[in-house]
Structure 1
Amino acid sequence: MECRELSGAIKPVESLPKFDRKVWLAATTILATEIGATIPDDVNIFIDETTKLPRSIDETAAFVGDLLNKQSEKEAAAA
């Protein structure tokens, strides 16, 4: 099987075969583990909740960064 080259503009939900809900969950868990962060189970990082459109890899990275910043701000405010 040929491996597709990935770029930041790729939208995994649209462009990668078999990238379904089960894979999204596994990918999110692996990402959270690798970056040492918590990504809530009810957050789909690959689909924009407002527009319901798939995010690109770059958009997903920016979304996760924003999510982690918001979590840090909440933790700092609670301390």
Structure 2
Amino acid sequence: MPKTFYQYLMTQRNPESYDPIATFANNAFLDSSFPKQDTEFDSLSKYLEENAPYLPSMTIFDDAWQMYLAALA
């Protein structure tokens, strides 16, 4: 079974980094409502747009999603 997006994102955590994807991962880790089992772009995007004030730009999610897809290949 492939990794979920959340599982991949957790590999990008780095509390000492100012990289936008690392910051996204750090904040997603603290988000108890994050859809951890989700693997669908549309539902994750909708969740983040509606419930993630810690994500300053959806471009960060788009970049992380592309990295996730590359890791699955």
Q: TM-score, normalised by structure 1?
A: 0.28
Q: TM-score, normalised by structure 2?
A: 0.29
Tell which structure's C-alpha radius of gyration is larger: 1
Answer 1 or 2: which has greater helix percent.
2
